[in-house]
Chain A
Amino acid sequence: MDVLLHYFDKVDWADIWVATGDTMLMLSTSLLFTVLVGLPLGILLFLFSPRQLLEQKATYGVLAFIVNAIRSLPFIILLIVMIPTTIFITGTSLGVAGAIPPLVVGASTFFARLVETALREVDRGIIEATQAMGATTRQIIVKALLPEAKPGIIAAITVTAIALVGYTAMAGVVGAGGLGDLAIRYGYQRFQDDVMVVTVIMLIVLVQILQTIGDKLVTHYSRK
């Protein structure tokens, strides 16, 4: 019992809180930009895809290829490949700021595909009905497709947020800190398994919270 009680004695809690803060900062900022970039990208993928409103084989082919190419890269590689671009955008390739651009690029392509799928789930009859009312393509998207796909898009944001938690663990490579980085440096490299256990628990709690919020919102907006 004593062993258990004193197991966490040597953990530096200040480090843990700083790391948690970094993770939360990276997560919230990158999730925000991921949605801002990925949602329009997903809508475009949907619209240009075969048999959809703005069917454009060539444009769809190019977009799909770029999205697939980015998604082929393991995040850790993307992080390094993007260093020059990251410096151009944020002025630094280090720290939390240095981690955001690769996080956004990696996650928004993933998110865009989920948005495309969510839009494809909307009954074609809905599009036909709004077309028959004389709606413009823009109105069809804003007034019909997005409201109908809202639960699916919220679920996509949840999945993306959780994937981002995983990505942030690798952002330690560029010195961005965060819980994952702490776990690797202390737990793995310094054999401080107590720190590892604490960070793992924090990550589990974080993911559970994200999933619960996401599920609640999906239920709230589902009318089926």
Chain B
Amino acid sequence: MIEFQNVHKTYRVDGRDIPALHPTSLRVENGQVFGLIGHSGAGKSTLLRLINRLEEPSGGQITVDGEEVTALDANGLRRFRQQVGMIFQHFNLLASKTVADNVALPLTLAGEMSRKAIDQRVAELLARVGLSDHAKKYPAQLSGGQKQRVGIARALATKPKILLCDEATSALDPQTTASVLQLLAEINRELKLTIVLITHEMDVIRRVCDQVAVMDAGVIVEQGSVADVFLHPKHPTTKRFVQEADQIDESEQRDDFAHVPGRIVRLTFQGEATYAPLLGTVARETGVDYSILAGRIDRIKDIPYGQLTLAITGGDMEAAFARFTAADVHMEVLR
């Protein structure tokens, strides 16, 4: 478990104190994929780097599995860092070393394994990320997605408990992003690894995260399970991220619906409810008519969800609303 207690960070630039992270308390359970989303400069990168103290906190306490990271001396910190893997937006592989040597680096630095044991571990890791055939190549000969896979293999070399991902897919195209995220989800599932990732794309959060924290100007403004935050965003920043991900502009949509008669509601289905034949049943029983104005059926990590905007006319409208609410569906009346 990663725990922040009133952790804050202030940079001193030209004699002025610039707060990067306001006092923040946070808890990441073991085995979770925890996403931090925010625009650049929101403080998410600082927060991530505080976990392995690549950034020193200005105050507060950070503990990982009961060990107080903020109290470690230089030696203790080095040992702790060997248990925390990290991958980066620009991969940060050594251009002068082969793929295999890059993956072996954390192990040779730790100096606890024989050359033979290291070679064996490297072979395992490369097989896991699907790069066994590329062991002797240099990073410059690989594509972006392959480089990130090397980064992941390298980060996993010392069998860490935690993996920190710094915008790990931001430099990749959508297809490669999907495959790297899939690999991360696989690792999380199979190795029971805790993953903390930062991103500015809601889609990344939606695909792999269990929990999400939304950051704005050095403060966590909203936090919760991805389904809750994604489907019922509260803070303006969160709403903006969700709309970006859905590629819809709410005000524009309202204008489009201006001429549509009846009440307009938005229904959000989650889990099994997504597949229940609710709309038809309710329409039959209450005599309302509906037309679908906008909608989306998708998944948040492994949970299916649907979000439909409906125009409802005629029949017993109140009874229909009551039926929707009773059916474990979240309903918002838009008009």
Contacts and interface: CB of A to CB of B under 8 A. Distances in A.
Interface of A: 123, 125-126, 128-136, 139, 143-144, 147-148, 150, 221, 223-224
B109 A148 contact: no
A223 B139 contact: yes
B94 A132 contact: no
Interface in B118-140: 138-140
Given A129-B88, A132-B86, A148 B94 contact: yes
Contacts of B97: 147
A139 B109 contact: yes
B86 A143 contact: no
B105 A143 contact: yes
Given A148-B94, A221-B96, A133 B88 contact: no
Q: Across the A-B interface, give the 6 residue pairs with the lowest CB-CB distance, nearest first.
A: A134-B81, A125-B92, A129-B92, A134-B78, A132-B86, A147-B96
Contacts of A125: 88, 90, 92
B96 A150 contact: yes
A132 B84 contact: yes
A131 B86 CA distance: 10
Contacts of B77: 134
Contact of B96 (A134, A139, A223): A223
Nearest to A136: B78
15 contacts: A125-B88, A129-B92, A130-B105, A130-B109, A131-B81, A132-B52, A132-B84, A132-B86, A133-B158, A134-B109, A144-B94, A147-B96, A221-B96, A223-B140, A224-B140
Interface string B65-92: 0000000000001111110101010101
A132 B106 CA distance: 9
Given A126-B94, A221-B96, A133 B81 contact: yes
A126 B95 CA distance: 9
Q: Which of B77, B79, B80, B97 has the most CB of A within 10 A?
A: B97
B6 interface: no
A139 B77 CA distance: 15
Contacts of B78: 134-136
A126 B91 CA distance: 9
A147 to B, nearest CB: 4
Residue picked from B54, B79, B92, B106, most chain A C-beta under 10 Å: B92
A131 B165 CA distance: 15
Given A223-B96, A223-B139, A224-B140, A134 B79 contact: yes
B95 A132 contact: no
A143 B109 CA distance: 8
A81 B92 CA distance: 47
B26 interface: no
A136 B78 CA distance: 8
A121 B109 CA distance: 23
B110 interface: yes
Contact of A135 (B52, B84, B96, B109): B109
Contacts of A131: 54, 81
B281 interface: no
Most chain-A Cβ atoms within 10 A of its Cβ — which of B81, B82, B90, B96? Answer: B96
B86 A129 contact: yes
Given A123-B92, A133-B81, A143-B105, A128 B54 contact: yes
Nearest to B111: A139
B108 interface: yes
